[in-house]
Structure 1
Amino acid sequence: MSRAVRYRQFGGLDVLELQEVPEPHAGPDEVRVRVTAAGLNPMDWQIAAKPEMAARFGITLPAGFGSDFAGVVDEAGAEAAGFSVGDRVHGAAIGRSVADFVLVKTPTTTLWRTPESISDEVAATLPVAGLTASAALAAIGLRAGDAVLIGGAAGGVGIFAVQLAKLAGARVLGTASERTFGFLRELGAESVAYGPGLPDRVRALAPEGITAATDLFGREAAEAALELGVAPERISTVADGPALPGVHATGAVDAKPGSLERIADVIRSGELTVPIAATFPVEQFREAVTMQAGRHVHGKIVVTL
Protein backbone atom coordinates (compact mmCIF):
# COMPACT_ATOMS: atom_id res chain seq x y z
CA MET A 1 0.00 0.00 0.00
CA SER A 2 0.99 3.64 -0.44
CA ARG A 3 -0.37 7.04 0.59
CA ALA A 4 -2.20 9.71 -1.39
CA VAL A 5 -4.30 12.78 -0.57
CA ARG A 6 -7.70 12.22 -2.20
CA TYR A 7 -11.32 13.37 -2.06
CA ARG A 8 -14.65 11.72 -2.87
CA GLN A 9 -16.73 14.90 -3.24
CA PHE A 10 -16.08 18.51 -4.08
CA GLY A 11 -15.85 20.96 -1.23
CA GLY A 12 -13.57 22.63 1.26
CA LEU A 13 -10.64 21.39 3.28
CA ASP A 14 -12.77 18.82 5.08
CA VAL A 15 -13.24 16.72 1.92
CA LEU A 16 -9.50 16.03 1.63
CA GLU A 17 -8.20 12.81 3.17
CA LEU A 18 -4.79 11.15 3.43
CA GLN A 19 -5.68 7.64 2.33
CA GLU A 20 -3.93 4.32 1.95
CA VAL A 21 -4.22 3.24 -1.68
CA PRO A 22 -2.86 0.30 -3.68
CA GLU A 23 0.73 0.89 -4.72
CA PRO A 24 0.78 1.73 -8.46
CA HIS A 25 3.31 0.22 -10.85
CA ALA A 26 4.66 1.49 -14.14
CA GLY A 27 3.02 0.20 -17.32
CA PRO A 28 5.02 -0.62 -20.46
CA ASP A 29 5.37 3.02 -21.58
CA GLU A 30 5.34 4.65 -18.14
CA VAL A 31 7.78 5.67 -15.45
CA ARG A 32 6.95 5.69 -11.78
CA VAL A 33 8.23 8.57 -9.67
CA ARG A 34 8.76 8.10 -5.95
CA VAL A 35 7.60 11.54 -4.83
CA THR A 36 9.64 13.31 -2.17
CA ALA A 37 8.09 16.79 -2.37
CA ALA A 38 4.92 18.38 -3.77
CA GLY A 39 4.54 22.12 -4.28
CA LEU A 40 1.09 23.59 -3.68
CA ASN A 41 -0.73 26.06 -5.92
CA PRO A 42 -4.04 27.93 -5.51
CA MET A 43 -5.45 25.91 -8.41
CA ASP A 44 -5.11 22.72 -6.34
CA TRP A 45 -7.71 23.60 -3.71
CA GLN A 46 -9.81 25.44 -6.29
CA ILE A 47 -10.08 22.25 -8.37
CA ALA A 48 -11.10 20.32 -5.25
CA ALA A 49 -13.73 22.94 -4.40
CA LYS A 50 -15.20 23.78 -7.81
CA PRO A 51 -16.65 21.06 -10.09
CA GLU A 52 -16.57 23.42 -13.06
CA MET A 53 -12.84 24.01 -12.63
CA ALA A 54 -12.18 20.30 -12.13
CA ALA A 55 -13.99 19.62 -15.40
CA ARG A 56 -11.66 21.99 -17.24
CA PHE A 57 -8.75 19.75 -16.29
CA GLY A 58 -10.56 16.47 -16.85
CA ILE A 59 -10.74 15.69 -13.12
CA THR A 60 -13.55 13.36 -12.06
CA LEU A 61 -14.47 11.92 -8.66
CA PRO A 62 -12.94 10.31 -6.72
CA ALA A 63 -9.81 12.35 -7.34
CA GLY A 64 -6.29 12.94 -6.15
CA PHE A 65 -4.87 16.28 -5.08
CA GLY A 66 -2.07 18.58 -6.17
CA SER A 67 -0.24 19.35 -9.39
CA ASP A 68 3.53 19.76 -8.90
CA PHE A 69 5.97 17.16 -7.64
CA ALA A 70 9.63 16.16 -7.48
CA GLY A 71 11.31 12.87 -6.71
CA VAL A 72 13.18 9.95 -8.25
CA VAL A 73 12.22 7.54 -11.03
CA ASP A 74 12.08 4.13 -9.34
CA GLU A 75 10.33 2.06 -12.02
CA ALA A 76 10.44 2.27 -15.82
CA GLY A 77 8.42 0.18 -18.25
CA ALA A 78 10.18 -1.69 -21.04
CA GLU A 79 8.94 0.85 -23.60
CA ALA A 80 9.39 3.99 -21.44
CA ALA A 81 11.27 6.72 -23.28
CA GLY A 82 13.48 9.52 -22.04
CA PHE A 83 13.92 8.56 -18.38
CA SER A 84 15.61 5.77 -16.45
CA VAL A 85 15.48 4.38 -12.93
CA GLY A 86 17.49 6.63 -10.64
CA ASP A 87 16.82 9.88 -12.51
CA ARG A 88 15.92 12.82 -10.27
CA VAL A 89 12.91 14.51 -11.84
CA HIS A 90 10.21 17.10 -11.29
CA GLY A 91 6.94 17.50 -13.10
CA ALA A 92 3.25 18.31 -13.25
CA ALA A 93 0.48 15.76 -12.70
CA ILE A 94 -2.76 17.66 -12.15
CA GLY A 95 -4.90 15.97 -9.53
CA ARG A 96 -2.23 13.42 -8.58
CA SER A 97 0.93 14.95 -7.11
CA VAL A 98 0.45 14.70 -3.33
CA ALA A 99 1.06 10.96 -3.20
CA ASP A 100 3.91 8.57 -2.57
CA PHE A 101 4.00 7.63 -6.27
CA VAL A 102 3.08 9.31 -9.55
CA LEU A 103 2.88 7.46 -12.86
CA VAL A 104 3.87 9.39 -15.99
CA LYS A 105 3.21 8.15 -19.51
CA THR A 106 6.14 8.64 -21.91
CA PRO A 107 7.18 10.32 -24.06
CA THR A 108 6.06 13.38 -22.11
CA THR A 109 6.32 17.16 -21.97
CA THR A 110 5.38 17.33 -18.27
CA LEU A 111 8.43 15.73 -16.67
CA TRP A 112 11.90 17.24 -16.46
CA ARG A 113 15.23 16.13 -15.04
CA THR A 114 16.17 17.96 -11.85
CA PRO A 115 19.60 19.61 -12.00
CA GLU A 116 22.03 18.36 -9.38
CA SER A 117 22.29 21.71 -7.62
CA ILE A 118 18.51 22.16 -7.18
CA SER A 119 16.79 20.51 -4.21
CA ASP A 120 13.63 18.45 -4.58
CA GLU A 121 11.77 21.02 -2.45
CA VAL A 122 12.65 23.81 -4.87
CA ALA A 123 12.11 21.65 -7.96
CA ALA A 124 8.61 20.79 -6.72
CA THR A 125 7.62 24.47 -6.88
CA LEU A 126 8.59 25.05 -10.49
CA PRO A 127 6.17 23.58 -13.06
CA VAL A 128 2.84 25.38 -12.58
CA ALA A 129 4.12 28.64 -11.09
CA GLY A 130 7.23 28.91 -13.24
CA LEU A 131 5.46 28.14 -16.50
CA THR A 132 2.53 30.45 -15.63
CA ALA A 133 4.88 33.35 -14.90
CA SER A 134 6.80 32.73 -18.09
CA ALA A 135 3.62 32.58 -20.18
CA ALA A 136 2.18 35.73 -18.57
CA LEU A 137 5.28 37.76 -19.40
CA ALA A 138 5.67 36.31 -22.90
CA ALA A 139 2.05 37.17 -23.70
CA ILE A 140 2.75 40.88 -23.20
CA GLY A 141 6.07 40.83 -25.05
CA LEU A 142 8.00 42.06 -22.02
CA ARG A 143 11.30 43.65 -22.96
CA ALA A 144 14.15 45.68 -21.56
CA GLY A 145 13.08 49.21 -20.67
CA ASP A 146 9.47 48.31 -19.89
CA ALA A 147 7.84 49.45 -16.67
CA VAL A 148 5.55 46.55 -15.77
CA LEU A 149 2.84 46.36 -13.11
CA ILE A 150 2.51 42.87 -11.63
CA GLY A 151 -0.66 42.12 -9.67
CA GLY A 152 -0.23 39.57 -6.87
CA ALA A 153 3.54 39.98 -6.96
CA ALA A 154 4.27 38.25 -3.65
CA GLY A 155 2.34 35.06 -4.44
CA GLY A 156 3.57 31.74 -5.74
CA VAL A 157 3.52 32.84 -9.39
CA GLY A 158 4.47 36.41 -8.58
CA ILE A 159 7.85 35.51 -7.10
CA PHE A 160 8.82 34.05 -10.47
CA ALA A 161 7.25 36.81 -12.56
CA VAL A 162 8.97 39.59 -10.61
CA GLN A 163 12.40 38.05 -10.95
CA LEU A 164 11.98 37.02 -14.59
CA ALA A 165 10.83 40.55 -15.43
CA LYS A 166 13.87 42.02 -13.69
CA LEU A 167 16.14 39.63 -15.59
CA ALA A 168 14.50 40.82 -18.81
CA GLY A 169 15.56 44.38 -17.95
CA ALA A 170 12.18 45.76 -16.91
CA ARG A 171 11.29 48.04 -14.04
CA VAL A 172 8.86 46.11 -11.83
CA LEU A 173 6.03 47.55 -9.75
CA GLY A 174 4.28 44.86 -7.72
CA THR A 175 0.95 45.01 -5.92
CA ALA A 176 0.86 43.53 -2.43
CA SER A 177 -0.19 44.18 1.14
CA GLU A 178 2.01 46.62 3.03
CA ARG A 179 3.40 43.89 5.27
CA THR A 180 4.84 42.28 2.12
CA PHE A 181 6.70 45.35 0.87
CA GLY A 182 10.04 44.37 2.38
CA PHE A 183 9.80 40.88 0.88
CA LEU A 184 9.14 42.31 -2.58
CA ARG A 185 12.02 44.76 -2.32
CA GLU A 186 14.34 41.80 -1.75
CA LEU A 187 13.10 40.32 -5.03
CA GLY A 188 13.72 43.58 -6.88
CA ALA A 189 10.20 45.01 -7.10
CA GLU A 190 8.87 48.43 -6.13
CA SER A 191 5.82 47.80 -3.99
CA VAL A 192 2.39 49.39 -4.31
CA ALA A 193 -0.59 48.58 -2.09
CA TYR A 194 -3.50 46.88 -3.77
CA GLY A 195 -7.09 48.01 -3.25
CA PRO A 196 -9.18 51.06 -4.19
CA GLY A 197 -7.12 53.92 -5.58
CA LEU A 198 -4.48 51.64 -7.16
CA PRO A 199 -4.18 53.70 -10.38
CA ASP A 200 -3.41 56.84 -8.38
CA ARG A 201 -0.74 55.06 -6.33
CA VAL A 202 0.88 53.64 -9.46
CA ARG A 203 0.81 57.07 -11.08
CA ALA A 204 2.54 58.56 -8.03
CA LEU A 205 5.21 55.85 -8.05
CA ALA A 206 5.77 55.99 -11.81
CA PRO A 207 4.68 59.44 -13.05
CA GLU A 208 6.25 58.71 -16.43
CA GLY A 209 3.78 55.85 -16.83
CA ILE A 210 3.83 52.08 -17.12
CA THR A 211 4.08 50.20 -20.41
CA ALA A 212 2.84 46.70 -19.54
CA ALA A 213 1.02 44.72 -16.86
CA THR A 214 0.21 41.19 -15.81
CA ASP A 215 -2.40 40.31 -13.21
CA LEU A 216 -1.70 37.04 -11.41
CA PHE A 217 -4.49 37.28 -8.86
CA GLY A 218 -7.64 38.80 -10.34
CA ARG A 219 -8.39 41.83 -12.51
CA GLU A 220 -7.55 44.82 -10.33
CA ALA A 221 -4.04 45.37 -11.70
CA ALA A 222 -5.18 44.76 -15.26
CA GLU A 223 -8.03 47.26 -14.90
CA ALA A 224 -5.65 49.79 -13.34
CA ALA A 225 -3.27 49.39 -16.26
CA LEU A 226 -6.09 50.03 -18.73
CA GLU A 227 -7.08 53.14 -16.80
CA LEU A 228 -3.45 54.30 -16.95
CA GLY A 229 -3.43 54.00 -20.73
CA VAL A 230 -1.61 50.70 -21.25
CA ALA A 231 -2.64 49.05 -24.52
CA PRO A 232 -4.77 45.91 -23.92
CA GLU A 233 -2.38 43.76 -25.95
CA ARG A 234 0.34 44.58 -23.43
CA ILE A 235 -1.71 43.27 -20.49
CA SER A 236 -2.22 39.65 -19.42
CA THR A 237 -4.30 37.90 -16.78
CA VAL A 238 -4.16 34.35 -15.43
CA ALA A 239 -7.18 34.27 -13.10
CA ASP A 240 -10.56 32.70 -13.85
CA GLY A 241 -13.48 34.87 -14.81
CA PRO A 242 -14.64 36.93 -17.78
CA ALA A 243 -11.75 38.19 -19.90
CA LEU A 244 -11.16 41.90 -20.36
CA PRO A 245 -11.55 42.99 -24.00
CA GLY A 246 -8.24 42.74 -25.86
CA VAL A 247 -6.33 41.52 -22.81
CA HIS A 248 -4.41 38.24 -23.02
CA ALA A 249 -5.83 35.45 -20.82
CA THR A 250 -3.04 32.94 -20.39
CA GLY A 251 -1.63 30.19 -18.19
CA ALA A 252 1.01 27.50 -17.83
CA VAL A 253 -0.16 25.57 -20.90
CA ASP A 254 0.78 28.57 -23.06
CA ALA A 255 4.42 28.66 -21.95
CA LYS A 256 6.94 28.35 -24.75
CA PRO A 257 9.03 25.17 -25.05
CA GLY A 258 12.18 25.38 -22.96
CA SER A 259 10.70 27.87 -20.48
CA LEU A 260 11.16 25.67 -17.43
CA GLU A 261 14.69 24.71 -18.45
CA ARG A 262 15.57 28.40 -18.67
CA ILE A 263 14.13 28.99 -15.20
CA ALA A 264 16.21 26.10 -13.84
CA ASP A 265 19.30 27.64 -15.44
CA VAL A 266 18.85 31.00 -13.70
CA ILE A 267 18.18 29.25 -10.40
CA ARG A 268 21.44 27.34 -10.80
CA SER A 269 23.30 30.54 -11.64
CA GLY A 270 21.89 32.28 -8.55
CA GLU A 271 20.04 34.91 -10.61
CA LEU A 272 16.63 33.69 -9.41
CA THR A 273 15.72 32.44 -5.96
CA VAL A 274 12.65 30.47 -4.88
CA PRO A 275 11.46 31.59 -1.43
CA ILE A 276 9.80 28.66 0.31
CA ALA A 277 7.40 30.01 2.91
CA ALA A 278 6.87 26.68 4.71
CA THR A 279 7.24 22.93 4.38
CA PHE A 280 4.89 20.38 5.95
CA PRO A 281 5.09 16.59 6.16
CA VAL A 282 2.24 14.95 4.28
CA GLU A 283 0.60 14.02 7.60
CA GLN A 284 0.07 17.79 8.09
CA PHE A 285 -1.26 18.44 4.58
CA ARG A 286 -4.36 20.16 6.00
CA GLU A 287 -2.21 22.83 7.63
CA ALA A 288 -0.35 23.27 4.34
CA VAL A 289 -3.53 23.67 2.30
CA THR A 290 -5.02 26.05 4.88
CA MET A 291 -1.95 28.28 4.63
CA GLN A 292 -2.03 28.16 0.82
CA ALA A 293 -5.75 28.96 0.68
CA GLY A 294 -5.20 32.04 2.86
CA ARG A 295 -3.55 33.67 -0.19
CA HIS A 296 -1.22 35.75 1.97
CA VAL A 297 1.84 33.50 1.68
CA HIS A 298 5.22 35.00 0.87
CA GLY A 299 6.56 32.38 -1.52
CA LYS A 300 5.78 28.70 -2.02
CA ILE A 301 4.43 25.97 0.27
CA VAL A 302 5.79 22.44 -0.04
CA VAL A 303 4.48 19.11 1.27
CA THR A 304 7.16 16.46 1.84
CA LEU A 305 6.62 12.72 1.56
Structure 2
Amino acid sequence: MKSSRLLSILLLLQTRGRLTAAELAEHLEVSVRTVYRDVEALHAAGVPLYGEAGHAGGYRLLAGHRSRLTDLFAGEAEALFLAGIPGAAAELGLGGHFTDAQLKLRAALPEPLREHVDRLRARFHIDAPGWYDDAAPAPHLAAVAAAVRESRVLDLRYRRWKEPTDVDRRVEPYGLVLKAGRWYLVAGPGPRTFRVDQILELVATDVEFDLPGDFDLTAYWRDHQAAFHARLHQGEAVVLLSQRGAGRLTGAAARALAATGVPEPDGRTRATLPIESLDHAHHTFLGLGADVEVLAPEDLRARIAETVAALAHRYGATPPAPTPAPRTR
Protein backbone atom coordinates (compact mmCIF):
# COMPACT_ATOMS: atom_id res chain seq x y z
CA MET A 1 0.00 0.00 0.00
CA LYS A 2 1.24 3.47 -0.85
CA SER A 3 0.34 4.93 2.57
CA SER A 4 2.38 2.22 4.30
CA ARG A 5 5.30 2.87 1.94
CA LEU A 6 5.24 6.63 2.63
CA LEU A 7 5.28 5.86 6.35
CA SER A 8 8.26 3.56 5.81
CA ILE A 9 10.18 6.30 3.98
CA LEU A 10 9.63 8.69 6.88
CA LEU A 11 10.71 6.08 9.43
CA LEU A 12 13.81 5.17 7.43
CA LEU A 13 14.91 8.80 7.08
CA GLN A 14 14.10 9.48 10.72
CA THR A 15 16.28 6.59 11.90
CA ARG A 16 19.00 6.44 9.22
CA GLY A 17 19.50 10.13 8.39
CA ARG A 18 20.38 10.62 4.71
CA LEU A 19 19.46 7.93 2.14
CA THR A 20 19.65 7.97 -1.63
CA ALA A 21 16.70 7.12 -3.86
CA ALA A 22 18.45 3.86 -4.81
CA GLU A 23 18.92 2.92 -1.13
CA LEU A 24 15.28 3.68 -0.36
CA ALA A 25 14.19 1.63 -3.37
CA GLU A 26 16.28 -1.32 -2.15
CA HIS A 27 14.81 -1.14 1.36
CA LEU A 28 11.25 -0.87 0.08
CA GLU A 29 11.71 -3.34 -2.81
CA VAL A 30 10.32 -0.90 -5.37
CA SER A 31 11.76 0.96 -8.35
CA VAL A 32 13.69 4.23 -8.05
CA ARG A 33 10.95 5.87 -10.15
CA THR A 34 8.40 4.85 -7.48
CA VAL A 35 10.57 6.45 -4.78
CA TYR A 36 10.64 9.71 -6.77
CA ARG A 37 6.84 9.70 -6.94
CA ASP A 38 6.54 8.96 -3.21
CA VAL A 39 8.92 11.81 -2.35
CA GLU A 40 6.79 14.18 -4.43
CA ALA A 41 3.71 13.00 -2.52
CA LEU A 42 5.44 13.69 0.80
CA HIS A 43 6.42 17.16 -0.41
CA ALA A 44 2.81 17.82 -1.39
CA ALA A 45 1.71 16.73 2.10
CA GLY A 46 3.99 19.34 3.67
CA VAL A 47 6.70 17.00 4.98
CA PRO A 48 9.99 18.98 5.34
CA LEU A 49 11.96 16.61 3.12
CA TYR A 50 14.73 17.80 0.83
CA GLY A 51 17.26 16.26 -1.50
CA GLU A 52 20.97 16.88 -1.99
CA ALA A 53 22.69 16.28 -5.32
CA GLY A 54 26.16 14.85 -5.83
CA HIS A 55 28.15 11.81 -4.79
CA ALA A 56 27.33 12.22 -1.08
CA GLY A 57 23.78 13.36 -1.72
CA GLY A 58 20.43 11.87 -0.89
CA TYR A 59 17.18 12.68 0.88
CA ARG A 60 16.99 14.15 4.38
CA LEU A 61 14.35 15.39 6.77
CA LEU A 62 14.74 18.93 7.99
CA ALA A 63 17.00 19.00 11.07
CA GLY A 64 14.99 18.55 14.26
CA HIS A 65 11.87 17.32 12.50
CA ARG A 66 10.26 14.32 14.23
CA SER A 67 7.01 12.92 12.90
CA ARG A 68 4.52 11.49 15.36
CA LEU A 69 4.36 8.00 13.91
CA THR A 70 3.05 6.21 16.97
CA ASP A 71 -0.09 4.59 15.55
CA LEU A 72 0.32 0.85 14.99
CA PHE A 73 -1.67 -1.37 12.67
CA ALA A 74 -2.99 -4.61 14.20
CA GLY A 75 -0.47 -6.72 12.31
CA GLU A 76 2.42 -4.52 13.49
CA ALA A 77 1.34 -4.79 17.11
CA GLU A 78 1.02 -8.57 16.76
CA ALA A 79 4.53 -8.80 15.32
CA LEU A 80 6.04 -6.78 18.18
CA PHE A 81 4.46 -8.94 20.86
CA LEU A 82 5.29 -12.25 19.13
CA ALA A 83 8.86 -11.30 18.18
CA GLY A 84 10.14 -11.17 21.75
CA ILE A 85 11.22 -14.37 23.49
CA PRO A 86 10.98 -13.85 27.29
CA GLY A 87 13.29 -16.78 28.06
CA ALA A 88 16.09 -15.36 25.92
CA ALA A 89 15.72 -11.92 27.48
CA ALA A 90 15.89 -13.45 30.97
CA GLU A 91 19.04 -15.42 30.09
CA LEU A 92 20.69 -12.19 28.95
CA GLY A 93 19.83 -10.52 32.24
CA LEU A 94 17.12 -8.39 30.62
CA GLY A 95 14.02 -10.20 31.84
CA GLY A 96 12.75 -7.26 33.87
CA HIS A 97 13.39 -4.80 31.05
CA PHE A 98 11.55 -7.08 28.60
CA THR A 99 8.50 -7.23 30.86
CA ASP A 100 8.52 -3.47 31.42
CA ALA A 101 8.83 -2.79 27.68
CA GLN A 102 5.86 -5.04 26.88
CA LEU A 103 3.78 -3.38 29.61
CA LYS A 104 4.60 0.08 28.22
CA LEU A 105 3.81 -0.99 24.68
CA ARG A 106 0.51 -2.53 25.76
CA ALA A 107 -0.43 0.61 27.71
CA ALA A 108 0.26 2.79 24.65
CA LEU A 109 -2.16 0.84 22.44
CA PRO A 110 -5.76 1.98 21.98
CA GLU A 111 -8.28 -0.17 23.83
CA PRO A 112 -9.58 -2.22 20.84
CA LEU A 113 -6.04 -3.05 19.71
CA ARG A 114 -5.00 -3.83 23.30
CA GLU A 115 -7.81 -6.38 23.58
CA HIS A 116 -6.82 -7.87 20.23
CA VAL A 117 -3.19 -8.30 21.34
CA ASP A 118 -4.26 -9.84 24.67
CA ARG A 119 -6.28 -12.46 22.78
CA LEU A 120 -3.28 -13.12 20.55
CA ARG A 121 -0.89 -13.62 23.48
CA ALA A 122 -3.32 -16.13 25.01
CA ARG A 123 -3.22 -18.22 21.82
CA PHE A 124 0.50 -18.24 20.88
CA HIS A 125 3.46 -19.41 22.92
CA ILE A 126 7.05 -19.55 21.63
CA ASP A 127 9.25 -22.43 22.84
CA ALA A 128 12.27 -22.52 20.52
CA PRO A 129 14.39 -25.54 21.62
CA GLY A 130 13.58 -29.03 20.30
CA TRP A 131 11.92 -31.76 22.37
CA TYR A 132 15.05 -33.80 22.90
CA ASP A 133 17.48 -30.94 23.49
CA ASP A 134 18.46 -30.60 27.12
CA ALA A 135 18.93 -26.96 28.03
CA ALA A 136 22.67 -26.46 28.41
CA PRO A 137 23.40 -24.17 31.37
CA ALA A 138 25.47 -21.13 30.40
CA PRO A 139 26.37 -19.44 33.69
CA HIS A 140 28.57 -16.84 32.00
CA LEU A 141 25.98 -15.69 29.45
CA ALA A 142 25.01 -12.46 31.22
CA ALA A 143 28.69 -11.46 31.58
CA VAL A 144 29.31 -12.22 27.90
CA ALA A 145 26.26 -10.15 26.90
CA ALA A 146 27.52 -7.23 29.01
CA ALA A 147 30.92 -7.42 27.29
CA VAL A 148 29.21 -7.44 23.88
CA ARG A 149 27.22 -4.31 24.77
CA GLU A 150 30.24 -2.51 26.22
CA SER A 151 32.79 -3.67 23.57
CA ARG A 152 35.18 -5.01 26.21
CA VAL A 153 37.77 -7.75 25.66
CA LEU A 154 37.22 -11.07 27.46
CA ASP A 155 39.73 -13.60 28.79
CA LEU A 156 38.19 -17.08 28.52
CA ARG A 157 38.93 -20.56 29.74
CA TYR A 158 37.18 -22.58 27.03
CA ARG A 159 36.48 -26.31 26.56
CA ARG A 160 36.62 -27.55 22.97
CA TRP A 161 36.18 -31.02 21.49
CA LYS A 162 39.79 -31.71 20.41
CA GLU A 163 42.99 -32.00 22.41
CA PRO A 164 43.99 -30.05 24.36
CA THR A 165 40.39 -29.66 25.39
CA ASP A 166 40.73 -26.76 27.84
CA VAL A 167 42.38 -23.68 26.34
CA ASP A 168 42.79 -20.00 27.21
CA ARG A 169 41.61 -17.40 24.73
CA ARG A 170 41.55 -13.59 24.68
CA VAL A 171 38.65 -12.51 22.46
CA GLU A 172 36.80 -9.44 21.26
CA PRO A 173 33.07 -10.26 21.65
CA TYR A 174 31.36 -9.09 18.45
CA GLY A 175 27.89 -10.53 19.04
CA LEU A 176 25.66 -13.30 20.40
CA VAL A 177 23.45 -15.71 18.45
CA LEU A 178 20.67 -17.91 19.85
CA LYS A 179 20.36 -21.07 17.73
CA ALA A 180 18.05 -23.98 18.64
CA GLY A 181 18.15 -23.13 22.34
CA ARG A 182 21.94 -22.66 22.53
CA TRP A 183 23.87 -19.40 22.71
CA TYR A 184 26.93 -18.83 20.53
CA LEU A 185 29.51 -16.06 20.88
CA VAL A 186 30.96 -14.65 17.67
CA ALA A 187 34.29 -13.06 18.54
CA GLY A 188 37.47 -11.72 17.01
CA PRO A 189 40.10 -12.04 15.95
CA GLY A 190 38.90 -14.15 13.05
CA PRO A 191 36.05 -13.99 13.74
CA ARG A 192 35.41 -17.38 15.35
CA THR A 193 32.41 -19.01 17.03
CA PHE A 194 32.30 -20.24 20.62
CA ARG A 195 29.53 -22.09 22.46
CA VAL A 196 28.75 -20.02 25.53
CA ASP A 197 27.89 -23.09 27.62
CA GLN A 198 31.45 -24.35 27.05
CA ILE A 199 33.03 -21.30 28.70
CA LEU A 200 34.53 -22.59 31.96
CA GLU A 201 35.90 -19.33 33.33
CA LEU A 202 35.59 -15.71 32.28
CA VAL A 203 37.32 -12.45 33.17
CA ALA A 204 35.96 -9.19 31.76
CA THR A 205 38.89 -6.85 31.17
CA ASP A 206 38.95 -3.05 31.04
CA VAL A 207 40.33 -3.18 27.48
CA GLU A 208 37.92 -1.77 24.90
CA PHE A 209 37.87 -2.65 21.20
CA ASP A 210 36.27 -1.28 18.05
CA LEU A 211 33.93 -3.52 16.11
CA PRO A 212 35.25 -3.85 12.54
CA GLY A 213 33.33 -1.50 10.29
CA ASP A 214 32.59 -4.19 7.71
CA PHE A 215 31.38 -6.82 10.21
CA ASP A 216 27.75 -7.90 9.82
CA LEU A 217 26.60 -10.44 12.42
CA THR A 218 23.64 -11.67 10.37
CA ALA A 219 25.77 -12.15 7.24
CA TYR A 220 28.54 -13.85 9.21
CA TRP A 221 26.13 -16.33 10.80
CA ARG A 222 24.49 -17.09 7.46
CA ASP A 223 27.90 -17.84 5.90
CA HIS A 224 28.98 -19.80 8.98
CA GLN A 225 25.91 -22.05 8.71
CA ALA A 226 26.45 -22.57 4.98
CA ALA A 227 30.09 -23.58 5.58
CA PHE A 228 29.02 -25.90 8.41
CA HIS A 229 26.51 -27.73 6.21
CA ALA A 230 29.05 -27.96 3.38
CA ARG A 231 31.51 -29.67 5.75
CA LEU A 232 28.78 -31.79 7.29
CA HIS A 233 27.64 -33.62 4.15
CA GLN A 234 30.71 -34.90 2.33
CA GLY A 235 29.23 -38.01 0.71
CA GLU A 236 26.11 -39.53 -0.81
CA ALA A 237 24.17 -42.75 -0.47
CA VAL A 238 21.73 -44.24 -2.97
CA VAL A 239 18.80 -45.82 -1.14
CA LEU A 240 15.39 -47.37 -1.62
CA LEU A 241 12.78 -46.08 0.82
CA SER A 242 9.33 -47.34 1.74
CA GLN A 243 6.58 -44.75 2.04
CA ARG A 244 6.93 -44.84 5.82
CA GLY A 245 10.72 -44.51 5.63
CA ALA A 246 10.44 -41.52 3.31
CA GLY A 247 8.08 -39.86 5.78
CA ARG A 248 10.63 -40.22 8.58
CA LEU A 249 13.33 -38.21 6.82
CA THR A 250 14.00 -34.64 7.95
CA GLY A 251 16.26 -31.72 7.10
CA ALA A 252 18.76 -32.14 4.27
CA ALA A 253 17.74 -35.77 3.69
CA ALA A 254 14.07 -34.80 3.19
CA ARG A 255 15.08 -32.02 0.77
CA ALA A 256 17.30 -34.44 -1.18
CA LEU A 257 14.44 -36.96 -1.36
CA ALA A 258 12.15 -34.30 -2.81
CA ALA A 259 14.80 -33.35 -5.38
CA THR A 260 16.06 -36.79 -6.43
CA GLY A 261 13.31 -39.26 -5.52
CA VAL A 262 12.15 -41.59 -8.31
CA PRO A 263 9.25 -44.08 -7.81
CA GLU A 264 10.13 -47.76 -8.32
CA PRO A 265 7.75 -50.52 -9.54
CA ASP A 266 7.66 -52.16 -6.08
CA GLY A 267 6.23 -48.98 -4.50
CA ARG A 268 9.48 -47.81 -2.96
CA THR A 269 11.35 -44.63 -3.88
CA ARG A 270 14.94 -44.50 -5.08
CA ALA A 271 16.82 -41.40 -3.91
CA THR A 272 20.34 -40.04 -3.44
CA LEU A 273 20.78 -38.70 0.08
CA PRO A 274 23.64 -36.68 1.61
CA ILE A 275 25.62 -38.39 4.39
CA GLU A 276 28.12 -37.04 6.90
CA SER A 277 30.29 -40.17 7.10
CA LEU A 278 30.01 -43.96 6.83
CA ASP A 279 29.76 -44.26 10.62
CA HIS A 280 26.98 -41.69 10.88
CA ALA A 281 25.09 -43.09 7.87
CA HIS A 282 25.42 -46.64 9.27
CA HIS A 283 23.79 -45.54 12.51
CA THR A 284 21.12 -43.41 10.78
CA PHE A 285 19.97 -46.01 8.25
CA LEU A 286 19.89 -48.81 10.83
CA GLY A 287 17.43 -46.62 12.73
CA LEU A 288 15.06 -46.80 9.75
CA GLY A 289 15.03 -50.61 9.92
CA ALA A 290 13.34 -52.39 7.03
CA ASP A 291 12.02 -49.09 5.65
CA VAL A 292 15.33 -48.44 3.87
CA GLU A 293 17.69 -50.44 1.68
CA VAL A 294 21.11 -48.98 0.94
CA LEU A 295 22.24 -49.63 -2.63
CA ALA A 296 25.48 -47.63 -2.62
CA PRO A 297 28.18 -47.10 -1.59
CA GLU A 298 28.98 -50.79 -1.39
CA ASP A 299 31.05 -50.55 1.81
CA LEU A 300 28.12 -48.91 3.63
CA ARG A 301 25.76 -51.62 2.37
CA ALA A 302 28.21 -54.32 3.50
CA ARG A 303 28.56 -52.78 6.98
CA ILE A 304 24.80 -52.65 7.44
CA ALA A 305 24.44 -56.26 6.26
CA GLU A 306 27.15 -57.34 8.72
CA THR A 307 25.39 -55.57 11.59
CA VAL A 308 22.02 -57.08 10.67
CA ALA A 309 23.58 -60.58 10.52
CA ALA A 310 25.18 -60.08 13.95
CA LEU A 311 21.86 -58.92 15.41
CA ALA A 312 20.02 -61.89 13.89
CA HIS A 313 22.61 -64.26 15.37
CA ARG A 314 22.32 -62.61 18.78
CA TYR A 315 18.55 -62.98 18.80
CA GLY A 316 18.62 -66.55 17.47
CA ALA A 317 17.20 -65.84 14.03
CA THR A 318 18.55 -66.82 10.67
CA PRO A 319 18.88 -63.79 8.43
CA PRO A 320 17.86 -64.10 4.79
CA ALA A 321 20.67 -64.34 2.29
CA PRO A 322 21.75 -60.84 1.30
CA THR A 323 20.53 -59.75 -2.11
CA PRO A 324 23.04 -58.21 -4.49
CA ALA A 325 22.94 -54.48 -4.74
CA PRO A 326 20.95 -53.35 -7.81
CA ARG A 327 22.92 -51.33 -10.28
CA THR A 328 22.63 -47.61 -9.60
CA ARG A 329 21.41 -45.34 -12.33
Name which one, 1 or 2, has greater alpha-carbon Rg: 2
The alignment's TM-score, normalised by the length of structure 1, stands at: 0.25
More strand by share: 1
For CA contacts below 8 A with separation 6 or more, give which structure has more relative contact order.
Answer: 1
The alignment's TM-score, normalised by the length of structure 2, stands at: 0.24
More helix by share: 2
